[in-house]
Structure 1
Amino acid sequence: MHRFIVEDAAEELLFLDEDESKHAKNVLRVRKGENVEILDGMGRKYLAEVEDVSGKRVGVRKLEELPGNESPVRITLYQGLPKMDKLDFVVQKATELGAARIVPVEMERSVARISADAAKKQDRLVKIAREAAKQCGRACVPEVMQPISWKKALEDIRARELMLIPWEEASGKRLADVKAACPDARDIGILVGPEGGIAPEEIAQVECECVTLGPRILRTETAAVAALAIAMGLWGDV
């Protein structure tokens, strides 16, 4: 079944925006009477029927609300700023796995740096998150922030109930060990270093649980997906 995002889904009769409508009519070839799934991007989704394909905006009528599929745990992924293609991948996979927020962070060893066109790049990442949410049938599109400095990230990190940092120099503690000690955590942060890793000085500034992801050193994008998947399996719904 085709899925579309309609951010204001309060009414019974809804209209896709022009981009979604073009995709629906010209690529997916939706027809009047066809059933589709509508996501509001905020956690609710509906079964709907295509009612009008004659105008610039496709009209659909809600039939019933469908069960939600958001994780019971809210995870913020702090991703050490990597090269852009890697960040695209991380945003896509983090959306599929259920991350609530994705925060790119410029760190000491980041190869990439915050650029003047950060807002434009953020728009691109938001689009990637929206498409990933549609693909996986997720009713909530995660918040994707503009890249921020390490100083600003620290302020945000300190608001988390539990902070996890996968680190190649961790002593051997695994995520399952942290779960045993903190079984009821519901607001979790995961900080993944950039290509150059996390500097010890940065670790020292965060009240956190440093954990290992195994005996092999993972690429930054692999570490992000692995840590998020394991955390969702332990605290969430994977």
Structure 2
Amino acid sequence: MHLFYTPDITTETYTLSEDESKHSIRVLRLQEGDEINLVDGKGSFYTAQIKTANPKKCVLQVINKAPDFGKRSFYVHVAVAPTKNLDRMEWFVEKAVEVGIEEISFLLCDRSERKNINIERLEKIAVSAMKQAVKAYLPQLNGMQAFPSFIQQVDAANTYIAHLENHDRTLLSQVHLSQKICILIGPEGDFSVKEIELAYGRGIKPVTLGTSRLRTETAALVACHTVNLLHELKSVLP
């Protein structure tokens, strides 16, 4: 399947960008009459036919549009403090998009070793992962935000903080799932005591991801997968 990301598609005739045109005609060797698929990142999946096989301006004719393609009945939001090694955050974004996620936020915490991120690069990775997984929805990626400010904006009743302090914590797999859930994942040195207390003060509940001590990016992906799996089981079990 040849899948292209076309976020600005609005009409039944569409011209690929010069880079995408070159890729489709020179690299993939597609010809007039060949069919390709398009996604706009907003939920629409298109089938289109090549009308003009020009390597600089490849013109397409949309022949079918499937709205709400793969739309889910739940919403997964993971907020994570980026690791010092950005490659590990890029890995998380890629895998989370493949598994299924609606929103990713990046937290600036007391113990954060990384103070900034390249959101444009992460968005490109997310687009690539969306195409790889044949999804029509591109997750929302939010730039760095200070932890105290971020937790003031979330719905505390459906937000959980995964920390390593020796407190009473519920296994994430045992929480009562809502349709929209946010999981907070701390930096490599964990959330500070002050941050945990701030979260508790907002009504955010503590969870654990299990007995293993996980790397930040692994914990974030485990949280994402766990919520996805719980919703899938919920949909098939009586």
**Cα 1:204–1:38 shift into 2, 3 Å:** same
Task: Provide Cα deviations, 1:135-174, integer angstroms capped at 9, x if missing partner.
Answer: 1111011111221222332233x33651122223353521
Cα distance 1:37–1:160, how it changes in 2: closer, same or farther (>3 A)?
A: farther
User: Structure 1 residue 76 and structure 2 residue 72: aligned?
Assistant: no
**CA pair 29-210 structure 1, distance change in 2 beyond 3 A:** farther
**TM-score, structure 1 as length reference:** 0.87
Shift of 1:55: 4.8
Deviations 1:53-82 (A, max 9, x none): 215122222222236113221122111121
2:100 aligned partner: 98
Amino acid at match of 1:60: L
Using the TM superposition, name which of 126-135 and 48-57 deviates more: 48-57
Amino acid at match of 2:148: K
State TM-score, norm by structure 2.
0.87
Which runs of no fewer than 5 residues in structure 2 stay unpaired? none
Q: Is this contact kept in 1: 2:15–2:59, CA < 8 A?
A: yes
Partner residue of 2:90 out of 67, 88, 91: 88
Structure 2 residue 204 is the aligned partner of structure 1 residue 224: no
The 2-side partners of 1:164 and 1:190 are apart by 5
Distance 1:160 1:31, change over 3 A: farther
Residue-pair matches, total: 228
Moved more, 25-34 or 79-88: 25-34
Q: Residue type matched to 1:212 in 2? A: T
Query: Alpha carbons of 1:46 and 1:220: their partners in 2 closer, same or farther (altered >3 Å)?
Result: same
Relative to structure 1, is the Cα distance of residues 176 and 64 closer, same or farther in structure 2, using a 3 angstrom cutoff? same
Letter in 2 for 1:187: K
Task: Please tell me whether the aligned partners of residues 21 and 55 of structure 2 are also in contact (alpha carbons under 8 angstroms).
Answer: no
Q: Which residue of 1 aligns with 2:58?
A: 58
2:138 to 133, 138, 141: 141
Q: Say what the alpha-carbon RMSD is for the aligned residues.
A: 2.1
Q: State the percentage of identical aligned residues.
A: 30
1:187 matches 2:180: yes
Structure 2 counterpart of 1:149, one-letter code:
A
**Aligned residue in 2 for 1:132:** 129
- Deviation by residue 1:194-220 (Cα, 9 ceiling, x = unmatched): 111122221221222222211110111
Compute the displacement of 1:43 (Å).
Answer: 1.0
After TM superposition, the runs of 4+ consecutive aligned structure 1 residues lying more than 3 A away are 169-172
